[in-house]
Amino acid sequence: MEMPCIHQKLYGRRLNKMQKDILIVAVGSINADLVAHKSVAAQRANYAYGSTFEMNLGGKSLNVALTALAFTPGVALIARIGNDIFGLEILDKAMKDGLITQYIKIDEFAHTGIGHVRVDENGQYDTIVINGANWNLTEEDIDTFISDGYIPKFAIFNFESDINLLKKIIPKFKKINTQIVMNFSPIVNNMRDLMNMTDIAVLNLAEAQQILESFETNPVVLLEKLKSFGPSTVVITLGSEGAIAIDADGLVVKVPAQVAKVKNTIGAGDGFLACLIYSISQGLPLEQSLINATHVGKIICSKSEASLNEKDTLVLNSESSFVRSAKSALSSKGL
């Protein structure tokens, strides 16, 4: 049995009833990331010995929401957790950070999603994901949020949620003129089916090839083909080579990656996405929005946590190529 009333009393944070317009809602996954830093040199037979262990807040949707929250208030997350130590700790932390947590439900029938993460000596990782309560998200969870009057400017999704559920709930947001942002990750079957529902598509090279069932390696060709399926903007992340995108007018822009001292890459793509959408919302051109996003990816790569915090934004503000808004860009030019 779910406990929405207890949840709302203890953990819920509701905006003032007059403040129904919010910038971002992330929909989908919350995980407890159980992170082990392994050493290849210490591997013996079936044992791989590690140097450190951490439990971090994770899940692509939570990572996006918390990074967006570092830039702006009025960020909501629609998701589920289990009634367990992992879920309640994550929920408490998210509430204290200021996330709108009223639409995170405690699910009595499943445990909190788990990401069993192993990070190698180069900061690269693999993950075993056990979806748990994430897979119990329903249309009714979305209906409750919308019926309460919230109208987000952007709704951000990924495939840590059931694709069949996404096909049902995305039209609900389109009806209230919310822009649909889809992170086509991780790779699942039939991803192409959601292209025509998407306004802004973000994916990496392998995901682009999977959707198009192509071995094409030229990102410009991939961008143009993906855009033909419906999105107004398509972004392909290229790892150490930066990112490339095509805008609503068909203009292609590419930006380099920021050089980072990598601790681990967990959440870097989610942070990139959150900053990209925030920057676009502030009226910045796509190219500058991409530059901003690469700065966030760099910071997250250099830390243990998979999301940005307010202290990290102070570092961003010191970067000469990071621009917070169109207004600040004009001010820097003396206009």
Question: The domain that contains 41 carries what CATH number?
Answer: 3.40.1190.20
Distance CA 69, CA 49 (A): 36
pTM score, two decimals? 0.89
pLDDT computed for residue 251 by the predictor = 98
Distance CA 235, CA 226 (A): 10
| 286 falls within a domain | yes
The enclosing H or E element of 253 equals strand 252-255
Q: Give residue 265's pLDDT band: very low, low, confident or very high (50, 70, 90).
A: confident
Is 90 exceeded by the pLDDT of residue 99? yes
Distance CA 202, CA 276 (A): 10
- Are 308 and 66 in contact by the 8 Å Cβ rule? The answer is yes
The mean of the pLDDT values for the chain is 89
Residue 187 lies in domain: 4-326
Interval 154-193: pLDDT, tens = 999 999 999 999 999 999 999 999 999 999 999 999 999 9
| 334 falls within a domain | no
Specify the number of domains making up the chain.
1
69 Cβ contact list (under 8 Å, min separation 6): 75, 97, 98, 99
162 Cβ contact list (under 8 Å, min separation 6): 135, 137
**What average pLDDT does range 137-147 have in this prediction?**
96
- Are 202 and 182 in contact by the 8 Å Cβ rule? The answer is yes
Is 90 exceeded by the pLDDT of residue 107? yes
| 15 falls within a domain | yes
Query: Is the C-alpha dihedral spanning 210, 211, 213, 217 positive or negative?
Result: negative
| Number of other CB atoms surrounding residue 285 within 10 Å | 16
Interval 41-50: pLDDT, tens = 666 667 777 7
| 332 falls within a domain | no
| 331 falls within a domain | no
